[in-house]
Every structure is written in C-alpha cells, then in structure tokens.
Amino acid sequence: MKAAASPKLTKPVTERDHIRGSAKALVTLVEYGDFECPHCGAAYPVVDELIEKLGDRLRFVFRHFPLTQVHPHALNAAEAAEAAGAQGKFWEMHDMLFEHQNALDTADLLRYAAELDLDVATFKRALATQAFEARIRDDVVAGARSGVNGTPTFFIEGYRYDGYPDFSSLMTALEDAMERRGAQGSK
C-alpha cells in the first residue's frame, strides 16, 4: 500500500505574500500562523534561528491563519500586522506581536504602532474598519484548501511539513529539501 502524500500548497508564493529572503533561495518555508497561538509563539524563535543559519539559502513566507474560536485577539493582531505592512513595516510588527503575545488588545496594538513610528491615525483607522479582512480571509481560505487545520502549519517547497516544529527537525527537513533540489538540478 502506498503512503499518502503530504498535502500541497494550493496557492503558490507570489509578490503579494510577506517574504523574507530571495526568490532565488534554495528552499522556501511557508508558515500559516496565528499571532496569539502559543505554539506559533514557540516556533517564532525557531524560524528566526533557521533564517539566521540558512541565510540566503532560505526564503520564509508568513501567511495568516487566525484561530478566532480560541484566540480572541488573533484576527485583530493579523489586521495590525497588515496595517503596519501597508506602511512598510509588516516584519517589524510581526516580530513585535510574537514578542508580546500576551498583550494584543487594541491599546497594545496602538502602542506598538507608535513604537514602530507608524502613522498611528492611519493604523487606528485600518483596525477600526478591518481594512485588511479580505486579505487575511484569502490566507485562511488558501490554508484550509491546503490542509491547514491548526497553527503553526509549515510547508517546505510546497509540501506540508508534518514533523515537530523544533529547530533540529525543521533544519533536517529543510536540508533534505535543499539536497533533493540540488540533486534535481544536477541531472
């Protein structure tokens, strides 16, 4: 009996995504995450270490998957990240939110916006009107179609990673993917 293949990303990575790293990187790691999820919070420093260790060999993509049934601040936090992104500071807000996971109410988000030197009035208006709800929903729908049902969910080179999200396991999986890619390139 043949083993079932890992689910694949149904939506390819594009310029619309939030990306750290080059499109020419050897391997792409996509995370579907929730800023209020403690498991995503635990994975955050792991991903940072992977980015540091792999350098230009890794392209990292973050997509939203707020679990609003269990994390009441997750959607607003995703909106905050997008509102900061509209002002060119998605990654700074991404980091701020994960580093302050237990402080995600609106007053906290406005304070982070001020600390990041954002136009706070514009940021506040975006939160109040849920200006980025459609973009976040697009990520959630794409994630669900790709088999995401919890966070964090990672995809390596378009295939869902079902291992433990610790540094050693993810590094091994990424190195294996780079090796496979290198072997394919030498044929």
Per-residue pLDDT of 16-48, as tens digits, reads: 999 999 999 999 999 999 999 999 999 999 999
12, part of any domain: no
70, part of any domain: yes
- Residue 65 sits in a domain whose CATH number is 3.40.30.10
6, part of any domain: no
102, part of any domain: yes
Total domains in the fold of the chain: 1
CA 41, 45, 46 angle in degrees (round to 5)? Answer: 105
pLDDT of 181 reads: 80
pLDDT of 60 reads: 98
The residue range of the domain holding 62 is 18-182
64, part of any domain: yes
Per-residue pLDDT of 109-165, as tens digits, reads: 999 999 999 999 999 999 999 999 999 999 999 999 999 999 999 999 999 999 999
Per-residue pLDDT of 54-82, as tens digits, reads: 999 999 999 999 999 999 999 999 999 99
